[in-house]
Chain A
Amino acid sequence: MNTAKAPSAYTEFHPRWYRKRVSTWWWLGSGPYLRFILRELSSIFVALSVAMTLAQLWALRFGADAYSRFQESMRSPWLMALGVLTLAFTVFHSITWFNLAPRALTVRIGGRRVPEIMIALPNFIGWAAVSALIAWLVVRG
Protein backbone atom coordinates (compact mmCIF):
# COMPACT_ATOMS: atom_id res chain seq x y z
CA MET A 1 0.00 0.00 0.00
CA ASN A 2 1.30 3.41 -0.88
CA THR A 3 0.60 5.99 1.76
CA ALA A 4 2.90 8.70 0.39
CA LYS A 5 -0.06 11.02 -0.19
CA ALA A 6 -0.69 11.34 3.53
CA PRO A 7 2.24 13.58 4.54
CA SER A 8 1.76 13.38 8.26
CA ALA A 9 -0.92 12.17 10.62
CA TYR A 10 -0.31 15.17 12.86
CA THR A 11 -0.57 17.99 10.36
CA GLU A 12 -4.23 18.82 10.79
CA PHE A 13 -3.82 19.32 14.54
CA HIS A 14 -1.06 21.85 14.04
CA PRO A 15 -2.52 24.64 11.93
CA ARG A 16 0.08 27.05 13.31
CA TRP A 17 2.96 25.41 11.56
CA TYR A 18 4.32 27.87 9.08
CA ARG A 19 4.43 26.59 5.50
CA LYS A 20 6.15 28.74 2.94
CA ARG A 21 4.82 28.53 -0.59
CA VAL A 22 7.49 27.83 -3.20
CA SER A 23 7.84 30.79 -5.55
CA THR A 24 7.25 30.33 -9.27
CA TRP A 25 10.70 31.88 -9.72
CA TRP A 26 12.53 29.52 -7.34
CA TRP A 27 15.02 28.63 -10.10
CA LEU A 28 16.32 32.19 -10.38
CA GLY A 29 17.69 32.09 -6.85
CA SER A 30 20.82 30.03 -7.45
CA GLY A 31 23.25 29.08 -10.21
CA PRO A 32 22.72 25.30 -10.00
CA TYR A 33 18.91 25.67 -10.18
CA LEU A 34 19.21 28.00 -13.17
CA ARG A 35 21.56 25.56 -14.94
CA PHE A 36 19.07 22.77 -14.26
CA ILE A 37 16.18 24.73 -15.80
CA LEU A 38 18.33 25.64 -18.82
CA ARG A 39 19.23 21.96 -19.17
CA GLU A 40 15.55 21.02 -19.14
CA LEU A 41 14.74 23.86 -21.54
CA SER A 42 17.47 22.64 -23.92
CA SER A 43 15.30 19.59 -24.68
CA ILE A 44 12.98 21.89 -26.66
CA PHE A 45 15.91 23.01 -28.82
CA VAL A 46 17.05 19.40 -29.30
CA ALA A 47 13.53 18.62 -30.56
CA LEU A 48 13.70 21.73 -32.76
CA SER A 49 17.00 20.61 -34.29
CA VAL A 50 15.43 17.23 -35.08
CA ALA A 51 12.44 18.99 -36.67
CA MET A 52 14.78 21.17 -38.76
CA THR A 53 16.72 18.12 -39.98
CA LEU A 54 13.47 16.34 -40.88
CA ALA A 55 12.29 19.44 -42.77
CA GLN A 56 15.62 19.47 -44.62
CA LEU A 57 15.21 15.80 -45.61
CA TRP A 58 11.60 16.46 -46.58
CA ALA A 59 12.72 19.27 -48.93
CA LEU A 60 15.43 17.01 -50.39
CA ARG A 61 12.76 14.45 -51.25
CA PHE A 62 11.11 16.89 -53.69
CA GLY A 63 14.21 17.52 -55.76
CA ALA A 64 16.96 20.10 -56.21
CA ASP A 65 14.66 23.12 -56.69
CA ALA A 66 12.69 22.41 -53.53
CA TYR A 67 15.93 21.96 -51.61
CA SER A 68 17.30 25.27 -52.94
CA ARG A 69 14.12 27.04 -51.85
CA PHE A 70 14.47 25.45 -48.40
CA GLN A 71 18.09 26.61 -48.15
CA GLU A 72 17.09 30.11 -49.25
CA SER A 73 14.34 30.28 -46.61
CA MET A 74 16.83 29.20 -43.94
CA ARG A 75 19.01 32.22 -44.74
CA SER A 76 16.55 34.65 -43.13
CA PRO A 77 18.15 36.46 -40.17
CA TRP A 78 15.50 35.16 -37.75
CA LEU A 79 16.00 31.53 -38.73
CA MET A 80 19.78 31.94 -38.64
CA ALA A 81 19.55 33.37 -35.12
CA LEU A 82 17.28 30.49 -34.16
CA GLY A 83 19.78 28.07 -35.69
CA VAL A 84 22.65 29.51 -33.64
CA LEU A 85 20.53 29.37 -30.47
CA THR A 86 19.51 25.79 -31.24
CA LEU A 87 23.12 24.77 -31.80
CA ALA A 88 24.21 26.40 -28.51
CA PHE A 89 21.46 24.68 -26.51
CA THR A 90 22.04 21.32 -28.24
CA VAL A 91 25.76 21.48 -27.39
CA PHE A 92 24.87 22.45 -23.79
CA HIS A 93 22.38 19.56 -23.63
CA SER A 94 24.96 17.07 -24.94
CA ILE A 95 27.67 18.17 -22.52
CA THR A 96 25.37 18.03 -19.48
CA TRP A 97 23.94 14.68 -20.63
CA PHE A 98 27.38 13.06 -21.03
CA ASN A 99 28.58 14.53 -17.74
CA LEU A 100 25.59 13.03 -15.93
CA ALA A 101 25.95 9.59 -17.54
CA PRO A 102 28.53 8.29 -15.00
CA ARG A 103 26.17 9.09 -12.14
CA ALA A 104 23.46 6.82 -13.56
CA LEU A 105 25.79 4.13 -14.85
CA THR A 106 28.06 2.51 -12.31
CA VAL A 107 30.44 -0.06 -13.69
CA ARG A 108 32.52 -2.23 -11.37
CA ILE A 109 35.61 -4.09 -12.45
CA GLY A 110 37.36 -6.30 -9.92
CA GLY A 111 35.13 -4.98 -7.12
CA ARG A 112 36.16 -1.36 -7.78
CA ARG A 113 33.99 1.28 -9.34
CA VAL A 114 35.29 2.50 -12.70
CA PRO A 115 36.18 6.24 -12.41
CA GLU A 116 33.51 8.64 -13.70
CA ILE A 117 35.84 10.03 -16.37
CA MET A 118 36.12 6.57 -17.92
CA ILE A 119 32.33 6.52 -18.44
CA ALA A 120 32.01 10.11 -19.67
CA LEU A 121 35.07 10.17 -21.91
CA PRO A 122 33.96 7.48 -24.43
CA ASN A 123 30.69 9.42 -24.85
CA PHE A 124 32.58 12.61 -25.70
CA ILE A 125 34.97 10.73 -28.01
CA GLY A 126 32.02 9.09 -29.80
CA TRP A 127 30.29 12.48 -30.13
CA ALA A 128 33.44 14.08 -31.57
CA ALA A 129 34.00 11.14 -33.99
CA VAL A 130 30.42 11.23 -35.32
CA SER A 131 30.53 15.05 -35.64
CA ALA A 132 33.86 14.83 -37.53
CA LEU A 133 32.45 12.18 -39.88
CA ILE A 134 29.36 14.30 -40.65
CA ALA A 135 31.53 17.40 -41.13
CA TRP A 136 33.78 15.46 -43.52
CA LEU A 137 30.77 14.21 -45.52
CA VAL A 138 29.31 17.75 -45.74
CA VAL A 139 32.59 19.48 -46.63
CA ARG A 140 33.48 16.80 -49.18
CA GLY A 141 30.25 17.74 -50.90
Chain B
Amino acid sequence: MPETVTLEVTRYSPERDAQPSLEKFEVPLRKDWVVLDALNHIKDKVDGSLTYRWSCRMGICGSCGMMVNGEPKLTCATFLSAYTRGKPIRIEPLRYFPVVRDLVVELSDFVTKLTQVMPWLVRKQEKAIAEGEYLQTPEGLESYRQYAMCINCTLCYAACPVYGLDPVFIGPAALALAQRYNMDSRDQGAEERMAHLAHPEGVWGCTFVGECTRVCPKHVDPAGAIQQYKIKAALDWFKSFVMPRGEQ
Protein backbone atom coordinates (compact mmCIF):
# COMPACT_ATOMS: atom_id res chain seq x y z
CA MET B 1 0.00 0.00 0.00
CA PRO B 2 1.47 3.42 -0.97
CA GLU B 3 2.46 5.85 1.72
CA THR B 4 -0.08 8.60 2.35
CA VAL B 5 -0.20 12.02 3.97
CA THR B 6 -3.12 13.80 5.63
CA LEU B 7 -4.17 17.19 4.29
CA GLU B 8 -6.23 19.43 6.56
CA VAL B 9 -8.06 21.63 4.10
CA THR B 10 -10.19 24.68 4.87
CA ARG B 11 -13.80 24.24 3.79
CA TYR B 12 -16.24 27.12 3.70
CA SER B 13 -19.57 27.26 1.97
CA PRO B 14 -21.08 30.75 2.30
CA GLU B 15 -24.61 29.36 1.85
CA ARG B 16 -24.21 26.78 4.62
CA ASP B 17 -21.43 27.69 7.06
CA ALA B 18 -21.10 30.53 9.56
CA GLN B 19 -17.34 30.10 9.54
CA PRO B 20 -14.72 27.91 7.87
CA SER B 21 -13.75 24.51 9.24
CA LEU B 22 -11.02 21.99 8.46
CA GLU B 23 -11.67 18.76 6.59
CA LYS B 24 -9.12 15.94 6.51
CA PHE B 25 -8.18 14.11 3.34
CA GLU B 26 -5.76 11.21 2.94
CA VAL B 27 -3.72 11.56 -0.27
CA PRO B 28 -0.85 9.52 -1.74
CA LEU B 29 2.54 10.87 -0.74
CA ARG B 30 4.35 10.82 -4.06
CA LYS B 31 7.85 12.22 -4.31
CA ASP B 32 7.02 14.25 -7.42
CA TRP B 33 3.74 15.68 -6.12
CA VAL B 34 3.34 19.28 -5.11
CA VAL B 35 0.49 20.46 -2.84
CA LEU B 36 -1.52 21.45 -5.91
CA ASP B 37 -1.30 17.86 -7.22
CA ALA B 38 -2.74 16.65 -3.93
CA LEU B 39 -5.61 19.16 -4.16
CA ASN B 40 -6.28 18.08 -7.75
CA HIS B 41 -6.30 14.47 -6.57
CA ILE B 42 -8.93 15.32 -3.93
CA LYS B 43 -11.06 17.19 -6.46
CA ASP B 44 -10.81 14.42 -9.09
CA LYS B 45 -11.14 11.36 -6.85
CA VAL B 46 -12.62 12.30 -3.49
CA ASP B 47 -14.70 15.49 -3.42
CA GLY B 48 -15.44 17.42 -6.59
CA SER B 49 -16.86 20.34 -4.64
CA LEU B 50 -13.46 21.41 -3.28
CA THR B 51 -12.88 24.93 -4.63
CA TYR B 52 -9.51 26.57 -5.27
CA ARG B 53 -7.71 28.55 -7.95
CA TRP B 54 -4.93 27.35 -10.18
CA SER B 55 -3.87 27.70 -13.78
CA CYS B 56 -0.34 27.38 -15.16
CA ARG B 57 1.13 24.88 -12.67
CA MET B 58 4.60 26.31 -13.21
CA GLY B 59 4.93 29.32 -10.91
CA ILE B 60 4.06 31.95 -13.49
CA CYS B 61 0.35 32.73 -13.26
CA GLY B 62 0.40 33.35 -9.50
CA SER B 63 -3.12 32.04 -8.95
CA CYS B 64 -2.51 29.01 -6.68
CA GLY B 65 -1.26 30.91 -3.63
CA MET B 66 -2.46 29.44 -0.31
CA MET B 67 -1.30 29.14 3.28
CA VAL B 68 0.60 25.88 3.70
CA ASN B 69 1.23 25.13 7.36
CA GLY B 70 0.75 28.85 8.07
CA GLU B 71 3.18 30.08 5.37
CA PRO B 72 2.06 31.79 2.15
CA LYS B 73 3.16 29.50 -0.69
CA LEU B 74 2.53 28.86 -4.36
CA THR B 75 1.06 25.37 -4.09
CA CYS B 76 2.40 24.45 -7.53
CA ALA B 77 5.94 24.96 -6.24
CA THR B 78 5.59 23.39 -2.79
CA PHE B 79 6.41 19.70 -2.61
CA LEU B 80 4.56 17.42 -0.20
CA SER B 81 7.90 15.77 0.58
CA ALA B 82 9.18 19.06 2.04
CA TYR B 83 7.00 18.52 5.10
CA THR B 84 7.59 16.23 8.05
CA ARG B 85 6.30 12.74 7.42
CA GLY B 86 3.51 11.54 9.65
CA LYS B 87 2.25 15.03 10.38
CA PRO B 88 -0.76 16.52 8.57
CA ILE B 89 -0.22 19.43 6.18
CA ARG B 90 -2.65 22.27 6.70
CA ILE B 91 -3.92 24.09 3.61
CA GLU B 92 -5.78 27.35 4.19
CA PRO B 93 -6.84 30.31 2.04
CA LEU B 94 -4.43 33.26 1.81
CA ARG B 95 -4.45 35.16 5.09
CA TYR B 96 -5.94 38.68 5.42
CA PHE B 97 -8.22 38.36 2.37
CA PRO B 98 -11.97 37.67 2.60
CA VAL B 99 -12.78 34.02 1.86
CA VAL B 100 -15.30 33.45 -0.93
CA ARG B 101 -15.42 29.65 -0.75
CA ASP B 102 -13.05 26.94 0.55
CA LEU B 103 -9.58 28.10 -0.57
CA VAL B 104 -10.69 30.94 -2.85
CA VAL B 105 -10.14 34.49 -1.64
CA GLU B 106 -11.50 37.78 -2.91
CA LEU B 107 -8.79 39.91 -4.53
CA SER B 108 -10.71 43.01 -5.70
CA ASP B 109 -9.05 45.11 -3.01
CA PHE B 110 -5.59 44.24 -4.35
CA VAL B 111 -6.61 44.84 -7.95
CA THR B 112 -8.10 48.24 -7.05
CA LYS B 113 -4.89 49.28 -5.31
CA LEU B 114 -2.73 47.93 -8.11
CA THR B 115 -4.61 50.10 -10.59
CA GLN B 116 -4.16 53.17 -8.39
CA VAL B 117 -0.37 53.05 -8.60
CA MET B 118 -0.52 52.97 -12.41
CA PRO B 119 1.77 50.01 -13.13
CA TRP B 120 2.32 50.92 -16.75
CA LEU B 121 4.44 53.41 -18.69
CA VAL B 122 2.99 56.89 -18.22
CA ARG B 123 3.99 59.43 -20.83
CA LYS B 124 3.22 63.13 -20.70
CA GLN B 125 2.82 63.03 -24.43
CA GLU B 126 2.45 59.76 -26.29
CA LYS B 127 4.35 59.52 -29.53
CA ALA B 128 2.72 58.21 -32.69
CA ILE B 129 2.85 54.43 -33.22
CA ALA B 130 4.70 55.02 -36.48
CA GLU B 131 7.57 56.55 -34.51
CA GLY B 132 8.30 53.15 -32.99
CA GLU B 133 8.73 51.73 -29.49
CA TYR B 134 10.06 53.39 -26.39
CA LEU B 135 13.48 51.75 -26.19
CA GLN B 136 15.28 50.67 -23.05
CA THR B 137 18.97 49.86 -22.53
CA PRO B 138 20.13 46.61 -20.87
CA GLU B 139 21.58 48.71 -18.00
CA GLY B 140 18.25 50.51 -17.57
CA LEU B 141 16.40 47.19 -17.54
CA GLU B 142 18.78 45.81 -14.93
CA SER B 143 17.92 48.62 -12.50
CA TYR B 144 14.26 47.54 -12.19
CA ARG B 145 14.21 43.95 -13.52
CA GLN B 146 13.89 42.52 -10.01
CA TYR B 147 10.63 44.41 -9.39
CA ALA B 148 9.31 43.53 -12.85
CA MET B 149 9.33 39.83 -11.90
CA CYS B 150 6.18 40.23 -9.75
CA ILE B 151 3.42 37.82 -10.78
CA ASN B 152 0.69 39.36 -8.57
CA CYS B 153 0.34 36.17 -6.54
CA THR B 154 -0.38 38.28 -3.39
CA LEU B 155 1.67 35.99 -1.12
CA CYS B 156 3.33 39.18 0.13
CA TYR B 157 -0.05 40.55 1.26
CA ALA B 158 -0.72 37.34 3.18
CA ALA B 159 2.65 37.78 4.90
CA CYS B 160 2.20 41.47 5.72
CA PRO B 161 0.70 42.10 9.19
CA VAL B 162 0.37 45.79 8.34
CA TYR B 163 -2.10 44.90 5.58
CA GLY B 164 -3.91 42.53 7.95
CA LEU B 165 -4.25 45.13 10.68
CA ASP B 166 -4.82 48.12 8.42
CA PRO B 167 -6.44 47.05 5.13
CA VAL B 168 -6.22 50.56 3.65
CA PHE B 169 -2.44 50.03 3.31
CA ILE B 170 -1.65 49.80 -0.41
CA GLY B 171 0.56 46.80 0.24
CA PRO B 172 3.86 45.31 -0.90
CA ALA B 173 3.26 44.12 -4.48
CA ALA B 174 1.52 47.30 -5.66
CA LEU B 175 4.24 49.46 -4.11
CA ALA B 176 7.03 47.35 -5.63
CA LEU B 177 5.39 47.58 -9.05
CA ALA B 178 5.02 51.34 -8.68
CA GLN B 179 8.73 51.50 -7.93
CA ARG B 180 9.43 49.33 -10.99
CA TYR B 181 7.83 51.96 -13.25
CA ASN B 182 9.32 54.88 -11.33
CA MET B 183 12.77 53.44 -12.03
CA ASP B 184 12.06 52.95 -15.73
CA SER B 185 13.74 55.72 -17.73
CA ARG B 186 10.89 55.63 -20.28
CA ASP B 187 8.27 56.47 -17.64
CA GLN B 188 7.16 60.01 -16.75
CA GLY B 189 4.48 59.20 -14.16
CA ALA B 190 6.51 59.34 -10.93
CA GLU B 191 4.89 62.58 -9.78
CA GLU B 192 1.39 61.24 -10.36
CA ARG B 193 2.21 58.04 -8.46
CA MET B 194 3.69 60.06 -5.61
CA ALA B 195 0.13 61.12 -4.67
CA HIS B 196 -0.72 57.48 -3.85
CA LEU B 197 2.65 56.39 -2.57
CA ALA B 198 3.96 59.14 -0.29
CA HIS B 199 1.22 59.09 2.33
CA PRO B 200 0.39 56.99 5.41
CA GLU B 201 -1.54 54.43 3.37
CA GLY B 202 1.37 54.18 0.94
CA VAL B 203 5.05 53.69 1.70
CA TRP B 204 4.85 55.38 5.11
CA GLY B 205 2.43 52.71 6.27
CA CYS B 206 5.16 50.07 5.92
CA THR B 207 6.96 49.25 9.17
CA PHE B 208 9.59 47.10 7.41
CA VAL B 209 8.57 43.73 8.80
CA GLY B 210 10.32 42.27 5.76
CA GLU B 211 8.21 39.10 5.50
CA CYS B 212 6.89 40.16 2.06
CA THR B 213 10.39 39.76 0.67
CA ARG B 214 11.02 36.46 2.43
CA VAL B 215 7.88 34.78 1.07
CA CYS B 216 8.10 36.18 -2.48
CA PRO B 217 8.53 33.23 -4.88
CA LYS B 218 10.08 35.54 -7.49
CA HIS B 219 12.62 37.31 -5.24
CA VAL B 220 11.10 40.70 -5.94
CA ASP B 221 12.04 42.30 -2.58
CA PRO B 222 9.01 44.59 -2.09
CA ALA B 223 10.32 45.63 1.35
CA GLY B 224 13.52 46.99 -0.23
CA ALA B 225 11.54 48.83 -2.92
CA ILE B 226 9.36 50.49 -0.28
CA GLN B 227 12.32 51.64 1.83
CA GLN B 228 14.05 53.03 -1.27
CA TYR B 229 10.90 54.93 -2.12
CA LYS B 230 10.76 56.32 1.43
CA ILE B 231 14.24 57.78 0.91
CA LYS B 232 13.15 59.28 -2.42
CA ALA B 233 9.98 60.76 -0.91
CA ALA B 234 11.95 62.25 2.00
CA LEU B 235 14.56 63.74 -0.37
CA ASP B 236 11.81 65.19 -2.60
CA TRP B 237 10.18 66.76 0.44
CA PHE B 238 13.54 68.18 1.56
CA LYS B 239 14.21 69.58 -1.90
CA SER B 240 10.78 71.22 -2.04
CA PHE B 241 11.51 72.72 1.38
CA VAL B 242 14.98 74.05 0.48
CA MET B 243 14.13 75.00 -3.10
CA PRO B 244 10.38 75.70 -3.09
CA ARG B 245 10.45 77.08 -6.62
CA GLY B 246 13.24 74.93 -7.92
CA GLU B 247 13.05 71.78 -9.93
CA GLN B 248 12.08 68.78 -7.79
> What is A's interface to B at a CB cutoff of 8 Å?
2-11, 14, 16-20, 22, 26-27, 29-30, 32-33, 36, 40, 100, 103-106, 108, 111
- Does B221 lie within 8 Å of A103, measured CB to CB? yes
Complex partner residue of B99 from A3, A7, A18, A30, CB under 8 angstroms: A18
Indicate whether A32 sits within 8 Å of B209 (C-beta atoms), given known contacts A17-B98, A22-B165: yes
B108 x A10 contact (CB < 8 A):
yes
- Per-residue contact bits, chain B 94-133, to A (CB 8 Å; 1 contact, 0 not): 0110111000001011001100100000000000000000
A108 to chain B, nearest CB (A): 7
Given contacts A4-B113, A4-B201, contact A40 B214 (CB under 8 A): no
Count of B residues near A, CB < 8 Å? 44
Most buried by A among B20, B108, B221: B108
Q: Is B109 in contact with A22, judged by CB distance below 8 angstroms?
A: no
Closest approach, in angstroms, between the C-beta of A124 and any C-beta of chain B?
19
- Alpha-carbon separation in the docked complex, A105 to B228 (Å): 6
18 more A-B residue pairs beyond the given contacts A11-B108, A26-B164, with a C-beta to C-beta distance below 8 A: A2-B116, A5-B201, A10-B108, A14-B98, A14-B100, A14-B106, A16-B14, A17-B106, A18-B12, A18-B98, A32-B211, A100-B210, A103-B213, A103-B223, A103-B224, A104-B227, A104-B231, A111-B142
Rounded to whole angstroms, the CA-CA distance of A20 and B164 in the bound complex is 10
Which chain B positions have C-beta within 8 A of A106? Answer: 224, 228
A16, A33, A108: the one contacting B161 at CB < 8 Å is: A33
Alpha-carbon separation in the docked complex, A100 to B108 (Å): 32
Q: Who on chain A is nearest to B18 by CB? A: A18
Asked if residues A2 and B109 are in contact (CB atoms below 8 Å), the reply is: no
Closest-CB distance, B33 to chain A (whole angstroms): 26
9 example contacts (A-B, Cβ-Cβ < 8 A) are as follows A2-B199, A7-B168, A8-B108, A17-B99, A18-B12, A22-B161, A33-B161, A100-B210, A105-B231
* Cα distance A9–B109 in the bound complex, in angstroms: 9
Q: Is the CB of A8 within 8 A of B106?
A: yes
User: Nearest Cβ in chain A — how far from B236, in angstroms?
Assistant: 16
Contact of A108 among B95, B143, B196, B224 (CB under 8 A): B143
Closest-by-CB residue of B relative to A24 is B165
Contact at A9–B207, with CB atoms within 8 Å? Answer: no
Q: A10-B108, A33-B209 are in contact. Are A16 and B168 (CB under 8 A)?
A: no
Of residues A10, A29, A103, which shows the largest number of chain B Cβ atoms within 10 Å of its Cβ?
A: A103
Residues of A within 8 A of B108 (CB): 7-11
What residue of chain A has the Cβ atom nearest to residue B208's Cβ?
A: A100
Asked whether, in the complex, the Cβ of A7 is within 8 Å of the Cβ of B230, the reply is no
A32 touches B214 (CB 8 A): yes
